[in-house]
Structure 1
Amino acid sequence: MTARVVIGLTGAAAAVAVVVLATLGYGGRDASSEAPLVQPPKTAPVTRATLVDAVHLSGTVGYGNSEPFPGRLAGTLTQIAEPGDALDRGDVAYRVDDRPVVVLIGELPAYRPLAVATTGADVAQFEQNLRALGYEGFTVDEEYSEATAAAVKRWQADLGLDETGIVDLGRVVYVPAPVRVAKREQRAGDQAAPGTPVLTVTGTTRTVAVRLDDKTAVPLKPGAKVQVRASGAKPVDGVVAGVRAAEEGEQPGKVAMVGIKDQRGFKAAEGEQVDVAVVRATRKDVLTVPIVALLAVADGYGVEVFGAGGRRVVPVTVGLFAQGQVEVTAPELAEGMRVGVAGQ
């Protein structure tokens, strides 16, 4: 029989669960009470499954924190990338006076023009990008040579720029990795100015924001593993990337940011609410029965097994409780047996 995965909320409260069920008439029966002479109205199978004890929280899908996209050129904005657009190496983020501002990949921000005889780490970073864009004929190093200038002229021609061989300050903007446009901070026709962001951007992968407060049942710390489920979809694995303070406009408290590695398998759109399960305990490939099948027997618990030979009470050792099921262990118990279910 195929194993199933069951997710629940209990775990350490095994005894409490049985006491409550007994009070309600759903379990914890005394095996010494009068035994039924026929099969009870309802039985349930002994199943083999993976039980997962988890706390469930609500999360919101997004793309992480937004950051300003810096601008260094002055002039009239004539074109701006759309919200939702992905910007990678070589893409045009916006145009000033109908001339492109180009995205490149790197950690070091542009801080000066680049021309022949310029040397430094910023030169090497620019040349790495130029080579990655397919331009050749120069050595990637920390020296801006005549060969570099010749390649830059070809790059400028392809962009529709004047072929000066000089990279003006503000013509390129470096980002550590590809980004996604979150919002336009200005519109076409506005005046661009050094230091005034034209866009705000985020990462390109979806993340999940989980709001935490003093009532949150389980702490979320960086590195914690979770399962994220969109409505009607299979769960995907997630990892808490960090915990930050609530930003302006958010409810007070802290926000845990969950990263999702399987972006293709994650079937949720920006702004959608998803379930975030924080796994506290897991029992793989164990025998399980409904909690309401438990009997109170001497010094523990048992289940009432029904078969061709009639009925008998089998003492069991209980383990993890999860979503109405409980892990049970007994030498006489096997997958597929039928057990009585009380209070049905």
Structure 2
Amino acid sequence: MSLRKTGLAVIGVLLVAIVAFWAGHTTLVPPQSESFSTEVSTVEVTKGELGRTITVMTSVERDTVPLVANQIAGTVTHIGDLSAVSQGGILYKVNDVPVRAVVSQTPFWRALTVGSTGDDVQALNRCLSDLGYGTNPESASFTQVTAAALRSWQKSLGMAQTGEAAFGELVAVAENGQSLVAKSDALYVGASMQGGEKLLSVSSGSPSFVIHTSEAQAKLIPTGTILRVHAGDKTWEGVAGEARASQDVAIPVTAADGGLLCGQECAAVPSGQNVTLFTDVIISNKAAGLIVPLAAIHTDAQGKAHVIVVDGENLVETDVKVVTIANGLAVVEGVAEGQRVQVSGATPSSPAESSSPDENSSHEGS
């Protein structure tokens, strides 16, 4: 056999050996098993307080009745602050003539001048006295003293100093600080007055409280939901009534017994137009206790709730009672503070390596 043929034979033998070795190795060595285990996290059971509220605005609504008709012809040149009218305050001006408020139970129905007598004159004397012009507040007579005081008041307002009160310049209001409602489409700067216009109204009767909201938000406030309405330093607890459809969804708010929300404290309700009050809607009452994530709680076919407590290498299914739920967390009974519960259903390879919740996170619902 030639040298060349001998070499080829040797190479062939080596190739066969290599192939046989590779085949045997891949056949005899078992493949590495692929792990499908899911890494899970555990959280520590902690003490805290949960509760969920949302904040909405409650509108204060009142019936109104006309106060007085305008008696001065011309153009409206000014509108005063009508939210809390004070004694002698300017309501509005027509041709720069100020129409003023006077606290009186008797309407001003005529011009007042020296020699006039009556309850309306006494109200004017009382007003001038309150403003510091030195009249007798108990006098029902328009005297020279009244005329002199009135001229001083007119001077301070930049008016002609006539010493008389022309009809239409004085408007009787029931009390100091009373809120008036302007007819917005009639009383505005630049409006033309002919006389006889009903420009101002006053609130009448008890206030009512209504939440105006969207259909989506109304679903969070079913009939009977507990509400807390805040007015200054007063807080009234009430309930939501049955929603009614209008341009939006209107939900009346009453006391728990169906009575007036503000009860005997309605004087604390702010007066004026478009009054709204911050209101807490109690979605779930606050409850203190042991808190776990809602994702850690499982229920069986009978509706019983349980969690998986991780105790070293052991997983212990533990029944719990859910007290309240808010923002993905739950207050439960049946576990102990400091225990760790499993958040997912897979088995952790090492509980010590599982993650814990952010210690800075809050357990209290908004």
* Equivalent residue letter for 1:46: T
Structure-1 separation of matches of 2:249 and 2:73: 42
Identity %: 19
* Equivalent residue letter for 1:183: S
| Alpha-carbon distance, 1:73 to partner | 1.8
Q: Is the 8 A contact 2:90 2:99 kept in 1?
A: yes
| Alpha-carbon distance, 1:226 to partner | 3.8
Q: Is the 8 A contact 1:87 1:103 kept in 2?
A: no
Structure-2 separation of matches of 1:117 and 1:253: 55
Q: Is the 8 A contact 1:210 1:257 kept in 2?
A: no
* Equivalent residue letter for 2:295: V
Structure-1 separation of matches of 2:123 and 2:109: 12
Structure-1 separation of matches of 2:82 and 2:42: 57
| Alpha-carbon distance, 1:185 to partner | 1.6
Match of 2:325 in 1: 321
Match of 2:247 in 1: 251
Match of 1:3 in 2: none
Match of 2:135 in 1: 138
Structure-2 separation of matches of 1:291 and 1:251: 38
Match of 1:159 in 2: 157
Match of 2:192 in 1: 190
Residue correspondences, number: 275
Secondary structure of the corresponding residue to residue 184 of structure 2: strand
Secondary structure of the corresponding residue to residue 154 of structure 1: helix
Q: Where do residues 16-35 of structure 1 align in structure 2 (5 Å cutoff)?
A: none
| Alpha-carbon distance, 1:193 to partner | 0.8
| Alpha-carbon distance, 1:158 to partner | 1.2
Is the aligned partner of 1:218 residue 2:215?
no
Structure-2 separation of matches of 1:123 and 1:100: 19
Q: Is the 8 A contact 2:292 2:330 kept in 1?
A: yes
Structure-2 separation of matches of 1:277 and 1:47: 25
What TM-score results when the alignment is normalised by the length of structure 1? 0.55
Q: Where do residues 196-235 of structure 1 align in structure 2 (5 Å cutoff)?
A: 196-198=197-199, 209-210=211-212, 217-219=221-223, 225-226=227-228
Structure-1 separation of matches of 2:240 and 2:116: 43
| Alpha-carbon distance, 1:237 to partner | 6.7
| Alpha-carbon distance, 1:77 to partner | 1.3
RMSD: 5.4
Structure-1 separation of matches of 2:106 and 2:70: 15
Identify if the C-alpha distance between structure 1 residues 304 and 160 changes in structure 2 by more than 3 Å, giving closer, same or farther. Answer: same
Which structure dedicates a bigger proportion of its chain to helix? 2
Is the aligned partner of 1:40 residue 2:40?
yes
What TM-score results when the alignment is normalised by the length of structure 2? 0.52
Structure-2 separation of matches of 1:239 and 1:80: 41
Match of 1:231 in 2: none
Secondary structure of the corresponding residue to residue 151 of structure 1: helix
Match of 1:341 in 2: 343
Match of 1:74 in 2: 72
* Equivalent residue letter for 1:119: G
Secondary structure of the corresponding residue to residue 70 of structure 2: coil
Identify if the C-alpha distance between structure 1 residues 291 and 252 changes in structure 2 by more than 3 Å, giving closer, same or farther. Answer: closer
Secondary structure of the corresponding residue to residue 79 of structure 1: strand
* Uncovered stretches (5+) of structure 2, i.e. residues with no partner: 1-36, 204-208, 255-260, 263-273, 347-366
Between 294-303 and 60-69, the greater mean CA deviation after superposition: 60-69
Match of 1:173 in 2: 171
Match of 1:119 in 2: 118
Structure-1 separation of matches of 2:82 and 2:303: 65
Identify if the C-alpha distance between structure 1 residues 184 and 85 changes in structure 2 by more than 3 Å, giving closer, same or farther. Answer: farther
Structure-1 separation of matches of 2:102 and 2:297: 64
Alpha-carbon displacement from aligned partner over 1:60-98 (angstroms, at most 9, x marks no partner): 87998887674432321151328x986732443332233
Identify if the C-alpha distance between structure 1 residues 154 and 183 changes in structure 2 by more than 3 Å, giving closer, same or farther. Answer: same
Q: Is the 8 A contact 2:50 2:330 kept in 1?
A: no
Structure-2 separation of matches of 1:253 and 1:118: 54
Q: Is the 8 A contact 2:42 2:342 kept in 1?
A: yes
Structure-2 separation of matches of 1:276 and 1:149: 52
